[in-house]
Amino acid sequence: CQVVEGSPLALQLAASWIKLLSPAEIANEIRQNFDVLSSRSTQVDEKHHSIEAVFEYSWQRLADEERAVLRKLSVFEGGFTRDAASNIAAAKLAILATLADKSLIRTAGENRFDLHPLIKQFAALKLAAREEEQRQTQEKHASFFELMISNPRAFPEPSILQKLMSDYENALASWRWVISNKVGQDISSFANGLGMFTLACLRSSEGVMVFQNAEACLRNVEHIHVPSL
C-alpha cells in the first residue's frame, strides 16, 4: 500500500502474487521494476492488463513537449519547485498545469510538485531510453543543486534553510551524480556546502555516511579532498 500509494489497480495487480510472494517481497519487486504489476488473466481488459499499459495509454495522448518534460521530471527526488522544473526540464507553467490536469504530476505544497512513485518509475524508463537526453538532464539537475548547496551563507536564513530542506533528497542525488561523473574535478565547494547543509538540517549522522561513501568512491583519485563532518 505504501509503495504504490494506495493505487487501486496497482493493489489489485500486486495482490495476485500473494500465493507466491510475501507482502515484503512484492513491495521489493515493485521498487525494483513495476513489471510485476501485471495480470496473468486473459479476462482483463487490455488497457488495464498492467500498470505500464495504463501509463502508456496516457503517454500516447501527450504532446511531444509534454512527454519530454515528464521524462526529465523523473530525475527529481522528493519533488521539485517550478523554478527547478523550468531550469532542469524546460517545463513551462502551462505544461505543468496540463500534466497536473492529467494526474501525471501533483501538487506537494506551496509552489511544489512531485510524481507518484510508479509514474516516476515509468517516466525514468522513458528517459533511460534516450541516453544523451538522460545525461544532459542529470547534469543540469546536479549543477542546479550543486549551485544551491554551495552557497553556505544562505543557511542561517530560516526561510531559505526551510526551502533547502525540502530539496534534501535532490541535494543528495546531485552529490551522488557529481561523485560518479566529475572524478578529477574540483568538488570542494560542493562538499563544504553539503557538510554545512547536513549540519543545519540536523542530519549530521546521515551526512557522515554520505561522506564516507564518497570517500570510498574517490579513494584512488588524486587532488580531491572530501572534508569530514
Q: How far from the centroid of its chain's Cα atoms is residue 133's Cα?
A: 16
3-state DSSP assignment of residue 34: helix
pLDDT at 48 over 60: no
Percent of all residues in the chain with a pLDDT value above 90, rounded to a whole number: 36
pLDDT greater at residue 70 or residue 219: 70
CB 138 within 8 A of CB 128: no
This prediction's pTM: 0.77
Q: Are strands 80-81 and 106-107 parallel, antiparallel or unpaired?
A: unpaired
Band of the pLDDT at 87, cuts 50, 70, 90? Answer: very high
- Contact partners, residue 194, CB within 8 Å, separation at least 6: 149, 171, 175, 207, 210
The long-range contacts involving 27-34, CB below 8 angstroms and separated by at least 24 positions, are: 27/2, 27/3, 30/3, 30/4, 30/118, 31/3, 33/121, 34/118, 34/121, 34/122
Q: What does the pLDDT read at residue 56?
A: 87
pLDDT at 211 over 60: yes
Work out the average pLDDT over 126-154.
88
Band of the pLDDT at 71, cuts 50, 70, 90? Answer: very high
SS3 content of the chain, % helix, strand, coil (to 5): 65, 5, 35
Q: Cell digits for 6?
A: 494506495
Work out the average pLDDT over 120-132.
94
Highest mean pLDDT among 5-14, 48-57, 70-79, 111-120: 70-79
Highest mean pLDDT among 36-45, 125-134, 185-194: 125-134
pLDDT greater at residue 150 or residue 123: 123
- The overall average pLDDT reported for the chain is 82
Compute the distance between CA of residue 124 and CA of residue 73 in angstroms, rounded to an integer: 8
Compute the distance between CA of residue 225 and CA of residue 105 in angstroms, rounded to an integer: 39
Work out the average pLDDT over 163-181.
87
Q: Cell digits for 109?
A: 505544497
Compute the distance between CA of residue 183 and CA of residue 76 in angstroms, rounded to an integer: 22
Q: How far from the centroid of its chain's Cα atoms is residue 143's Cα?
A: 15
CB 141 within 8 A of CB 75: yes
Q: Cell digits for 175?
A: 552529490
pLDDT at 154 over 60: no
